[in-house]
Amino acid sequence: MLRFAAGLSLLLLALLSESVLAAAGWRFAAALAVLIAFAYVFDFWELAVFDLLAVFALNWEPAIGGSIIAFAALPLAAYVVRRLIPAEPLFAAPAGIVAGFLLFYAVSAPAYAAGHSLRIFADIVIGLMVGELAVLCMA
Amino acid sequence: MSSRRKHLWVLIGAVAALAFAIVFEPAYGWRLRAALEPQDVMSAADPALPAQNQALEAQLASLESIAAQLPQNSSGSIPAVVYSQYPFDFHNELLIGSGANQGIAVGKAVTFQGVFIGLVARVFSDEAVVRTVFDPSFKMPVRVGSHGIDALLEGGPDPKAASIAKTASVAMGDVIYTAAPGVPYGLPVAAIAATSTSADHLFQEASLNFAYDINTVESVLIAK
């Protein structure tokens, strides 16, 4: 229960940092990185709660758009990969984050991704740092 | 019932409650996000603020003076509050608190303090999504300055006025304004910051100065 509370705090911190930086005009997917990292640490139902909580906070319109569906599905897909290919979270999570971010951009905004490779590279680097921090905090 | 089993049922209950809230009560999520967003934390003691305010007021006055000379839109407008913004980097869209029930329709112009900021992209019963000029997919015909030189407004994090004739005379500070079908003519959009030659050397293009920060827009008007 304590671990779950710590995970919840970390996710809320990621959502808060996203909001603070978005108000300054800088957006990055910290919550996605945390959720993919959590896929290598938490059980399915714990991950599902975190995942839906993030979707609840980030879904910004009455209809559920493609990018929100991709956002919700990627951590769960990472969990499935973890069950199929068990590995040390500290090493598996970064691979999951890189693959997850690339898939997220490819599914949500392929045209944008093609023209903003540097921006996406920066997003992945920040995602890796945030994700590794999340794994270390939960270890 | 073991404590582990209880924990599992609590989690399943939380998943069901969250799924219900996401589908049927998304407005609570917008409120949660609004609560997480920083409030106006700027201090009045910040020495840079008065100058910044003055610069913004001057820019706005300049835009308004041009707007006063242009044909006025007499059809009225619908006010709406901004609920939330698209959370990721690859779109710039706002969710506003008026929709089909209030007379909002797709393609209508949206303004903030008289300045054009975007077009209605999707309409729900009591909400609508506005695609702003900062969205990478935004494109719209505009005119530049008092000579009404044709240009194409290309959206993105740093929008620009493109496809300006190479021989046209555009200068820093010239106002660009709307000139697109379905949009009231002459709504100010931004002012020219600098001009350059396009990559293919066939046109001029211009970077733009905006008199507002899209991240702090809290209420808008939608043309009827």
Give the minimum alpha-carbon distance from B32 to chain A in angstroms, rounded to a whole number: 6
At B67 the pLDDT is 55
Q: Kindly state whether B21 is in contact with chain A, defined as any CB-CB distance less than 8 angstroms.
A: yes
**All structural domains of chain A with their residue ranges:** 2-138
What pLDDT, in 10s, does the model give residues B116-126? 999 999 999 99
Task: Give me the residues of B, 118-157, that contact A with CB < 8 A.
Answer: 122, 124, 127, 129, 136-137, 157
Best to test chain A binding among B9, B90, B94, B131 (most A CBs inside 10 Å): B90
List the single range of A26-40, A48-62, A106-120 with lowest mean pLDDT: A106-120
Q: Please state, in angstroms and rounded to a whole number, the distance separating the CA atoms of residues B182 and B194.
A: 29
- What does the pLDDT read at residue A139? 76
pLDDT band at B69 (very low <50, low <70, confident <90, very high): very low
**Alpha-carbon distance B171 to B204, whole Å?**
11
SS3 of chain A: helix, strand, coil, percent, to 5: 80, 0, 20
Q: Which residue has the higher pLDDT, B42 or B46?
A: B46
Rounded CA-CA distance B191/B62 in Å is: 9
Higher pLDDT, B162 or B89: B162
**Mean pLDDT lowest among A4-8, A114-118, B76-80, B143-147:** A114-118
* Residue B195: count of CB within 10 angstroms of its CB: 19
Reported ipTM: the value is 0.83
The per-residue pLDDT for range B176-196, each reduced to its tens digit, is 999 999 899 999 999 999 999
At B114, which amino acid appears?
G
**Cross-chain Cβ contact A52/B23 below 8 Å:** no
Residues 18..77 of A with a Cβ closer than 8 Å to B: which? Answer: 18-20, 22-25, 27-29, 45-46, 48-49, 52-53, 55-64, 67
Residue B66 has pLDDT above 70, yes or no: no
Predicted pLDDT at A108 = 84
CA–CA separation, B63 vs B209, rounded Å?
11
Check: CB of residue A11 under 8 Å from CB of residue A135.
Answer: no
Q: How far apart are the first and last CA of chain B?
A: 60
How many degrees, rounded to 5, is the angle at CA A21 between CA A17 and CA A27?
A: 105
Question: What are the chain A neighbours of B215 within 8 Å (beta carbons)?
Answer: 22-25
